[in-house]
Amino acid sequence: MKKITLAVLAGISAICLACGIAACSFGESGPQGPQDETGAQGSQGEKDPQGPQDEPAEEESGELTIRFPELGNGNAGDCILIKVGDTEMLIDAGSKRGSAKTLVPFIKQYCTDGILEYVVATHAHEDHIAAFVGSSGTDGIFANFQCKTIIDYAMKNTTSQVSKDYERLRDEEVSVTAGAVHYTALQCWNNADGAQRSYELAEGVSFDILYQKFYENKSSDENNYSVCLLLKQGENNFLFTGDLEEAGEKSLVEKNDLPHVKLFKGGHHGSPTSSNEVLLSKITPENVCVCCCAGSTEYTTTKENTFPSQAFIDRVAKYTKNIYVTTMSTGSGYASMNGDITVTSNAEGVTVAGSNNDTILKETDWFKSNRTWPSYGVV
Ligand SMILES: [Zn+2]
């Protein structure tokens, strides 16, 4: 069943690549305009489908890559694909069910054996789990990849249909697909029921599930249930906190001895309420990647609070100017900002590249029209 689906999708993917962007583009509509149920909105932007990021990957052994793909629409959402050797790990799959149309072929370029060894769903919000489900029941990530170890949130408040669908398909992955296991972040932290606090992806590359109190305490904010993890390759550290808010960040700092990080996945899409000083002062990030559609009014029409917010920039600017953003709003739709972002880590260090360009946020035209770099910021 999976093999048939994979073959069909591979065919669709090949057709899209062969015919260029036209077959894959969506109709124009404003950021608040009507959306179809897949969440497809706006145009695909200027991303070149034949660009270097779309070439099949030949990873050198020992090289770790962390990819932040665009999601195929103008909505905020996370998806992070980590690869070392033949081992792939996926953290989240947003932003809408229709993002599966973009994400499944993207992941297939790098995950050529159809097996995602590790899957993490940070919390039960649509913009982090919808593409695991997909639109049709056969086009989502669970339907197209064998998932081996699935780690997700220990708590949730939402009763949304997409979270129920995610959990049903997750449980089927465990009960129907031989070899899949599911643990919550709390089970991992406790090394309970077969779960581990730390997993090795390859020699010298591992990740640790970090503790924060909302794995076992209620929060009125779903975001605070986010699974937090630290990926490590030698001295290079990479931190992922989902949409964790300030109360969760405080707990994370209190309960873990956090190191300096080469990369921080910008908290909650660059929201004014995440990536607070309490966390940043500990991790002093060198690079920050933000999964969002810059300037989209999806959540607010207050200009300075649209992602990535001015408050977020004001706080991060103290530590680094190396901020990267996947996508931006064009007002009538969306386009690539950096595009699909690839962070590469190896013995030589860590580099960041975008499929559209490598321009840091503060040097973009979007930034110059919409944000200011504080006088104390890194120059
Ligand atoms: Zn989110």
Stretch 278-294: mean pLDDT:
98
Distance CA 338, CA 332 (A): 19
**pLDDT tens, position by position, 186-225:** 999 999 999 999 999 999 999 999 999 999 999 999 999 9
DSSP E strands in 268-313: the ranges are 287-294
CA–centroid distance, residue 39 to ligand 1 (Å): 15
Name the residue among 233, 236, 241, 294 with its Cα closest to residue 264.
Answer: 241
CA–centroid distance, residue 170 to ligand 1 (Å): 19
CA–centroid distance, residue 292 to ligand 1 (Å): 9
Render 206-266 in DSSP notation, one character per residue. EEEEPP-GGGTS--SSGGGG---EEEEETTEEEEE-TT--HHHHHHHHHHS-PPP-SEEE-
Residue 178 pLDDT grade (very low, low, confident, very high; cuts 50, 70, 90): low
Using DSSP bridges, classify how beta strands 198-202 and 181-184 pair: parallel, antiparallel or unpaired: unpaired
CA–centroid distance, residue 124 to ligand 1 (Å): 9
CATH of 2-24+48-370, one of 3.60.15.10, 1.10.357.140, 3.30.530.20, 1.20.210.10: 3.60.15.10
Tell whether the model's pLDDT for residue 317 goes beyond 80. yes
CA–centroid distance, residue 298 to ligand 1 (Å): 12
99 and 4 Cβ atoms separated by less than 8 Å: no
Mean of pLDDT over the chain = 87
CA–centroid distance, residue 302 to ligand 1 (Å): 18
CA–centroid distance, residue 125 to ligand 1 (Å): 7
Around 142, how many Cα atoms within 13 Å sit in the side-chain half-sphere?
Answer: 29
Distance CA 268, CA 273 (A): 8
Only one residue has tokens 């599966």, namely 100
CA–centroid distance, residue 348 to ligand 1 (Å): 32
CA–centroid distance, residue 55 to ligand 1 (Å): 29
Only one residue has tokens 């031989």, namely 178
DSSP lists the bridge partners of residue 209 as: 229
> What percentage of residues in the chain have a pLDDT greater than 70?
83
What was the pLDDT predicted at 176? 82
Cα dist from 253 to 102, 181, 249, 364, whole Å: 35, 29, 6, 32
